[in-house]
Amino acid sequence: MDIFREKSQVEEIRAFFKSLPVLPETLTLGPGEKVVDVPLFIQSSLAILEPGNSVAVQRPVWDRLVKARALLEHQQADE
């Protein structure tokens, strides 16, 4: 693992996404950042966070997963 996250953080975010009963089809993370297949985005992003990929590759993927989690948590709170 690298210095910006611990294995437990990856497991925590993995558990969060797994706990959602339904995922939206699309999700806008920010201007110019639209995920068009949320389940595939989550699956591929978590795979990239596995050991073996460089921090330069993992960091932006991690940041997008954190954004997605925050948006989905906010949506859940609004329901």
Q: What are the pLDDT digits (tens) for 9-60?
A: 999 999 999 999 999 999 999 999 999 999 999 999 999 998 888 889 999 9
Higher pLDDT, 77 or 64: 64
Residues 6 or more apart whose Cβ sits within 8 Å of residue 3 = none
Pick the more confident residue, 78 or 25. 25
Is residue 31 assigned to a domain?
yes
The three-class DSSP label of residue 37 is: coil
Q: How many domains does the chain have?
A: 1
Say if 67 falls within a structural domain. yes
- Measure Cα distances from 51 to 15, 27, 71 in Å: 18, 27, 26
Residue 24 lies in a domain: yes
Residue 45 lies in a domain: yes
Task: State the residue range of the domain holding 66.
Answer: 7-78
Does residue 1 form part of some domain?
Answer: no
pLDDT of residue 1 exceeding 70, the answer is no
| CA distance linking residue 8 with residue 30, whole number of Å | 26
